[in-house]
Structure 1
Amino acid sequence: MSRGNRHTNNISSRHGGAEKYCDHLPVYRQMIRFDRAGIKLAHSTLLDWIARTCTLLQPLYESLKAGSDEQQLPDDG
C-alpha cells in the first residue's frame, strides 16, 4: 500500500476496526486475510490503524459515558 494514499488508509482502517470489534476477528487473522488477498501489510500498520480508530472514537466514548452517568436507574426496592 502506498503511504500517501489517505483514502485507502481510511477504508482499511475502518475495515480493520470493524473486523476487530464488530466481528471479533483477531488481528493475526486479519493479517492472514490481507495476505490471502495479496495485500502485503506490516502487522504494525494494522495495529496503528486500529489505534487511530480508537483515538478518533474516544470523544464519542467519553460523551456516551458522561450521558450514562447522568441517568438514574430505577430503584427496585
Structure 2
Amino acid sequence: MVVTKGTGDEFWCPNDPDRYLAIIYVDDYMRFPRSGVLHHGNDSERLFDRANNNGLDLSIVEQELDEIYTKIMSE
C-alpha cells in the first residue's frame, strides 16, 4: 500500500490495483458476467430482463457509457 496525493487529500491505495482487484473480485473483474448482471440484489431477474420487461432501451445506456469512456481516455 502507498499513500496517494494529488486531490488535496491523502489516502492509502494498493501498489498494484489490478492485482488487488483480481485477488478480491477474481481475475476477470473488468468483464460483465456472461450470465447477466443482477439488478439491485434481485437474484431472480437479470438487468437485461428487467429492462426488457419495463420497455427500457439499454443501447442508450451503452452509448452514454461509451461517451464517458471516450472522454476519460482523451484527458
TM-score (norm 1): 0.31
Q: Using CA pairs under 8 Å that are at least 6 residues apart, name the structure with larger relative contact order, 1 or 2.
A: 1
Q: Hey, which of these two has a bigger chunk of helix by percent?
A: 1
TM-score (norm 2): 0.31
Q: Hey, which of these two has a bigger chunk of strand by percent?
A: 2
